[in-house]
Structure formats: C-alpha cells, structure tokens
Structure 1
Amino acid sequence: MPINTAEALSLVTQICEEEKLRVAVKESVKGGFIAGGATILGGLFGGPIGLAIGGTLGGCTAAYLSQGKFKSVVSIINNDLTGAQRESLANSVRGIFSEIGPADYAALTLYIAQPAVKERIIQEVIGYFQSQLQMTIID
C-alpha cells in the first residue's frame, strides 16, 4: 500500500506537532553573539561582577530580540516549503515504511504508534531540515 505525499506529510506534521518541534530561524547564533559580546564587555570593564552582569543583560537582550522568530516545524512544512521540498520530505519518510510493506491501513497504524517508529520519523525530519534546508530544530 503506497503512501501518497499528502498522507506522509500529514503523518509528519501530526508527529511534529505532538512533539512541539520548533526551528530557530538563524536567531540562536545571533543571540549567542549578543550574549557572548555583552559578557566579554562586562568582564573587561567590571571583572568577575561585570561578567555576571554582562552575561545576564546580554542573555536578556538576546531573548527579547528573538521573540517570535522561532517557527514550528509544522508551520514551515505547511507554509514555507515548495512543492518539490514537500515531495522530498515525504519521500524521506516513505523510506521508513518501505522496510515493512504493510498489507492494510490497520497494520500501518499500529506500526506508526510504536515509539521507536515515531523516533525514526522525527530523526528523518530533523535530518532533512538540517541537510536540505540548513535549519536547526531546537526541541
């Protein structure tokens, strides 16, 4: 029973939503530079106390500036991926099911419910986002 693209993506989005997977859209690196720079400056000007104050202020500033800049994986799949990228992601997930070849929908449903299979699907999505889209999943 071949799984079409819509079914594969529906499965992926359901699992990603359950796991609350999110992507840092280039904000983690920027936040790290802000926090690190503030810590360095605090240390240079205030010694050990300055390190603590600079790190705290830098971390708070980075957190404030990155509000709303993290997207859910489901949002990216539904809104940001092109048709070719969706098809590629679906093909990646279909590869997991090619090993079992279930005869009916019930067998596939039981197979997907297994935690190890969910984990394989999550790892496939994470791998796809990292290798194909150069995005990092944070949860």
Structure 2
Amino acid sequence: MPLMVGDMMKLLCSVSEGRKMQAAVKHSGRAALVTGAVAFVGGLVGGPPGIAVGGAVGGLLGAWMTSGQFKPVPQILMELPPSEQQKLFNEAAAIVSNLDWTDAVQLTALVMGSEALQQQLLAMLTDYVTKELRAEVRYDD
C-alpha cells in the first residue's frame, strides 16, 4: 500500500514525540542585523561612545535572540514546506521499506514496537534537523 507524505510526517512526529525531541533554530542573521542596527542608532545618538554602547547592547540582544528557543520537533515537522516534507518522506521511506504493512496505523505500530527502527528514524531526523535546518537538538527523556 502506498504511504502518503502526511502519514509519514505523523509517524515521524510520533517517534520524535516519544523521545520528547526538541530543536532550537538559531537566528544568527537576524541577531547580527539587530546588533548592527542598535550600534548604528547608538552612533547617531551618542557619537563614537554611542557606537560602543550600542554595539554592546546590540550584541547582548543578539546573543539573547540566538539562545535556545526550543520547539518540539513534531511542531517543526508539520510547519515544513511540502518540498522539505517530501525530502524527509523519501529518507524515512527508505528506512521502513522492508517492513510488511497494510496501512499507516499498522506501520506506526510496527515502528513504535521496534527500538531499532525508532533509533534509525531518530538518527535520520537528528541529521536532517542539524544539517538542513541548522538547529540544535535536545531530548528531554
């Protein structure tokens, strides 16, 4: 039976939810923009000393922006654009391709009953989140 992308996303959500997998996407570009903008405003207001103060304040603000804003991975997966979901689907389908199943519910039960399959899917998800999304991953087991 063909597996739909939505079904695979639900399976990946179940696996990552079971391990309480979270990810923090770093917004370094936005933080750099804020740092520069605050330094610029500081320079306009206070001249050279204002640039120094603005740079320091902007740097702190930028550091705060990039610090761990963790979101549950299932939420991140469901917010991905269809092209990225298709990419994840292809990778996950390769992992579960040798299983014998009739529908998405049975496939989910098979995967949730196998620690080895869960580990393979978690490793694939971790690799995707860290490389493609450039995010930090943590587990709250």
Report TM bin, short chain. 0.5 to 0.7
What's the % identity of the aligned pairs? 23
Equivalent residue for 1:37? none
Shift of 1:107: 6.2
For residues 120 and 133 of structure 1, the distance between their equivalents in structure 2, rounded to whole angstroms, comes to 19
In the alignment, is the contact (CA less than 8 A) between 2:25 and 2:134 conserved in 1? no
Structure 1: which amino acid aligns with 2:102? D
Structure 2: which amino acid aligns with 1:20? K
Structure 2: which amino acid aligns with 1:75? Q
What is the TM-score with the length of structure 2 in the denominator?
A: 0.61
User: Structure 1, residues 19-67: CA drift from partner, whole Å, max 9, x if none?
Assistant: 110112228xx9xxxxxxxxxxxxxxxxxxxxxxxxxxxxxx9xxx478
Which 4+ residue blocks in structure 1 deviate beyond 6 angstroms? none
For residues 99 and 118 of structure 1, the distance between their equivalents in structure 2, rounded to whole angstroms, comes to 14
Equivalent residue for 2:18? 18
Structure 2: state its 5+ residue gaps: 32-59
For residues 90 and 12 of structure 1, the distance between their equivalents in structure 2, rounded to whole angstroms, comes to 9
What is the TM-score with the length of structure 1 in the denominator?
A: 0.62
Shift of 1:96: 0.6
Equivalent residue for 1:9? 9
Equivalent residue for 1:104? 102
- Pick closer, same or farther for the CA change 1:25–1:133 going to 2, 3 Å: closer
Is 1:86 the counterpart of 2:85? The answer is yes
For residues 2 and 120 of structure 1, the distance between their equivalents in structure 2, rounded to whole angstroms, comes to 21
Aligned residues: 104
- Pick closer, same or farther for the CA change 1:4–1:22 going to 2, 3 Å: same
For residues 109 and 74 of structure 1, the distance between their equivalents in structure 2, rounded to whole angstroms, comes to 15
Shift of 1:137: 1.2
In the alignment, is the contact (CA less than 8 A) between 2:16 and 2:73 conserved in 1? yes
Structure 1: state its 5+ residue gaps: 31-60
